[in-house]
Amino acid sequence: MSESPVSPTILGALQALVTWLDDEQVPNAIIGAVGVCLAAQPRLTTDIDAVIWIDRDRWESLIDSAAANGFSLREDQLRDGDPLAFSVRTRVLLLTHEPSSVDIDLSFGALPFEQELIDHADAVAVRGFTVKVATPEDLIITKAVASRPKDIADIDLIVSVRKELDWERIRYWVRQFADVLEMPEIVERLERALQPVTVARSSRARSMKAPLKQRKKQKE
């Protein structure tokens, strides 16, 4: 794409992150607000979220390699005095890209959905480099599970831009998470967010059938 949908500050941190993870041969995919920007439409954001897939026995070496690539460990990561223990307990790695001061949250993937998210990620060209971005469907799933007001707004944004979506996949995985987390309200919030889309699709279907009925009446 000729114009970047994210700010130059975020862009610099994103390129550094992609370069580092590629050098370490760590499969990854961008999610969160930056994912929404790259998959749908620009919106304000100040940090980067990604899912990574790496064997547990490589976590420590990945953490150790962060500093040499311009990333520092955030305060929460260092709170217990053992950055690796924090990641083992929380399954996240909290970083700051030093040159830009952009915070980066890396989630250590473990679930089948997370592996699929990374495997299905779209390669998006952004000003001279390529970044793997979760598909619009998988972004909606992650946003539905988080289910904060800003996440619901992001779902609305994606749906308004991406007209063709795999609703079966979206609904399947959201129901799976709702069952595991014992949070049926996740499904309810998703369906409320999608209600305008459902109504619009029903209206289009009715409008397509109307001319056919009129032609039949004319023949009679």
For 109-132, the pLDDT digits (tens) are: 999 999 999 999 999 999 889 999
Q: Phi and psi for 28 in degrees, rounded to 5? A: -155, 165
What pLDDT band is residue 1 in, cutting at 50, 70 and 90?
very low
What's the confidence (pLDDT) of residue 180? 95
Q: Phi and psi for 48 in degrees, rounded to 5? A: -130, 135
**Structural tokens at position 15:** 């390129």
What's the confidence (pLDDT) of residue 195? 78
What's the confidence (pLDDT) of residue 163? 85
**CB 45, CB 33: distance < 8 Å:** yes
Given a cut of 90, whether residue 4 has pLDDT beyond it is: no
**Structural tokens at position 5:** 């949908």
Measured between alpha carbons, how far is 89 from 94 in angstroms, rounded to an integer?
Answer: 13
Measured between alpha carbons, how far is 175 from 59 in angstroms, rounded to an integer?
Answer: 31
pLDDT digits (tens, 9 = 90+) for 156-200: 999 999 989 999 999 999 999 999 999 999 999 999 888 766 444
CA atoms within 13 A on the CB side of 38: 27
Q: Which domains does the chain have, with CATH numbers?
A: 1-134 (3.30.460.40), 145-220 (no CATH)
pLDDT digits (tens, 9 = 90+) for 83-115: 999 999 999 999 999 999 999 999 999 999 999
What's the confidence (pLDDT) of residue 88? 96
Measured between alpha carbons, how far is 39 from 35 in angstroms, rounded to an integer?
Answer: 6
pTM (2 decimals)?
0.86
Longest dimension (CA), the chain: 83
Secondary structure (DSSP) of 40-65: T-----SEEEEEE---GGGHHHHHHH
Mean residue pLDDT across the chain = 90
What's the confidence (pLDDT) of residue 219? 52
pLDDT digits (tens, 9 = 90+) for 24-35: 999 999 999 999
What's the confidence (pLDDT) of residue 210? 53
* Those residues with Cβ within 8 angstroms of residue 139's Cβ, 6 or more apart along the chain or in another chain: 31, 35, 36, 39, 40, 154, 158
